[in-house]
Structures are given as C-alpha cells and as structure tokens.
A and B are shown apart, each in its own frame.
Chain A
Amino acid sequence: MRVTPDVVASIRALLTGDTAEYTRTGETLDRTGRQARGALLSAAFFTAADRRFSKTGTPADVVTFVGNLRARHGLTEELDPRTAERLLLATFTDEEIDDIGPRVRGEHFTILLVGLIMDEQLPDAELDAFLDEARVLADQWLAD
C-alpha cells in the first residue's frame, strides 16, 4: 500500500482551506485509500511539528502555539488544549500519547497540522515539497 496522488491532493485541499474538496475526496476513498490518507495526515503532522519545535522548541512554545491557535480562530470547542499540547510534545519529547483515542487524535492531528502550515505561510512550491516529504514518511510507515 502506498500514498497515491489523489490522496496527496486531498490533503493539499485541506491545507489550503478547501474543505469541500477534502470531504468529497474522502467519500470516494475505499478502505485502502482511507488508510493511506490517515497515514499521510499523521506523517504530515509529525513532519510539520518536527520542523516547528524539534530544534529550538520548548514546552512553553507549544503552550503558546496552542493557546494562540484556539484564541485566534475561536477553536475552544474543537481543540482541547491539553490533548493538543501532548500531541505536539510527543513529536520532540518523551511524552506518551497512546491513551488518547484514535478519533480524538485524528481530529487534533488534522486541526494542528492546518494551524502549523497556516503559520508557515508556505508558497505553492514549498507546500508541495512539504507534502512530498510527508508522503515519503507515510509510505515508510505503510510499508512497515
């Protein structure tokens, strides 16, 4: 199983705010496609968080990021602050996240990923390069 171009296009639509396209493509995916999209979302979240926090980030930076994200976009219901902070901390510390349910984890992965990419304000070419890097990691995960 590998990440296909239409799965990448689906995540790209999400990261550019085209939720209608993201939802539409989600409805056309079969089980294999959904697994590939889940792997790509998770890998993209890890890649984006690693870029943002792994070199110079601190737990305080994570708290600030999550707080700003919730306040700026009014995401008090959609984003639980402690869950979001733990998921981000897990990408560069020893924080364990296996007690967080898969659905909550997926929702938070997705919202945090969009927030991280929005902050980066990547041009089209760099967004494509980012997705390509995430796709490589997702393919590794799917192959294991």
Chain B
Amino acid sequence: MPELNRRPEGTDRPEQELREQRPRGLAEPGRHLTNAPVERFRWSEVELDPPEWAKGVDRLDDLPDGEELTEPDPDKTRRTDKIRQVVVESYDEVSDASAKIVNAVDKMFGPRPDGQAHTQTRPDRGPVMSNPHLSDVDAGSVASALLTLGIVAAELTRRVDRLRGSNQK
C-alpha cells in the first residue's frame, strides 16, 4: 500500500528552509494573515414564509413536478372553448369597426387636441418691457403731506411760544 502522506520527491528539505523561501506576505498554511479575531460561523434556522412562486409549498418534495406544471387549468380551458365556439363563426363581424365603437372609444379617451385651441406666443415679437408705473398725487400722499405740515406747524408754534416766554422773563 503506498504511503499517502509521503512528501513528493525533491521536497525533502527541512521545513525551516521552505519557510525562508516563501514570499513575504504569504502566511504559512494554517496561519491567519491578520490577528483579528475570527468569527465562527453559526448555523441557525429561520422560519420564513414560502416564496410566492412556491405557491405555499415550503418543501422541495411537495413542489409540483413537470406534468403538473404543464397541465392547464381545466376550468379555464372549458371557458376559453366556450368563448371560442361562440365567436368562431363571426370573426368578421367582431372585427368591423362600427361608428358606435369608434364613438365610444373616442368618448373614453376624451377629446383630442386639434392644434388650434392652444394659445401660442408669436415668434416675431420679443418680450415687451413696460415703463415703471409712476403714480399721480393720490389721497394717501395728500394725507401724509398734511400730517407732516401739521407736525411742523405745531413744532414751530411750540418754539415761538417758548421764545416769547423767555423774552417776557
């Protein structure tokens, strides 16, 4: 029986010599490159709802096989056949675009713009700069002027009275 753990020929050099020839940056086998703590993998089971495609099945054995997947819904097939048997003799008449259909579909989608109902800016006119509005004399201005005149007159009267009082003394 061959010795499985025997070193290949030419590798009989001592381990110390191999370690010196190893390129820098490569760690020895079995030794980690960093001293960071290694997080151990922990197995945990999580309860999840089966995905939508599984249709409520959460075990592989319960999934439908190929025959079940390709088998059509019998009710739907029966209904499809019923519609087909009714319409098969009258495809032409179903296809005819009557005015009634066109009128109904136009109503459903609403009126289409005819290109004339939209206001547009004339291309031969640029923006119009209007002059700033200069207001004429209005009631507010008159009131402000009268109030100012009244204050000035009152102040003058007060000063005149003061001067007269000082002259009399």
Contact = CB atoms under 8 A, between A and B. Distances in A.
A85 to B, nearest CB: 15
Interface residues of A, number: 44
Interface stretch (B21-29, B97-105, B152-160): B97-105
Nearest to A22: B97
Nearest to A26: B97
A46 B77 CA distance: 12
A137 B88 CA distance: 13
Interface in B73-108: 76, 79-80, 82-98, 100-108
A107 B125 CA distance: 51
B96 to A, nearest CB: 7
Interface string A27-51: 0010100111111011000100010
B83 A90 contact: yes
Interface residues on B, range: 20 to 34
Contacts of B43: none
Contacts of B95: 26, 29, 34-35, 37-38, 41, 106
B84 A141 contact: yes
A14 B105 CA distance: 8
Contacts of A19: 97, 102, 105-106
B104 A79 contact: yes
Contact of A105 (B84, B90, B104): B90
A74 B104 CA distance: 9
Given A98-B86, A141-B88, A23 B102 contact: yes
B132 to A, nearest CB: 50
B41 interface: no
Contact of B94 (A42, A79, A91, A98): A42
B92 A109 contact: no
Contacts of A35: 91-92, 95
B109 interface: yes
B28 to A, nearest CB: 57
Interface stretch (A56-64, A111-119, A120-128): A111-119
Contacts of B84: 42, 141, 144
Nearest to A16: B109
A54 interface: yes
Contacts of A105: 86-87, 90, 94
B96 A34 contact: yes
A73 B80 CA distance: 29
Given A38-B90, A42-B91, A42-B94, A50 B76 contact: yes
8 contacts: A17-B108, A38-B93, A38-B95, A39-B91, A41-B95, A78-B100, A96-B82, A111-B105
Interface of B: 76, 79-80, 82-98, 100-109, 112
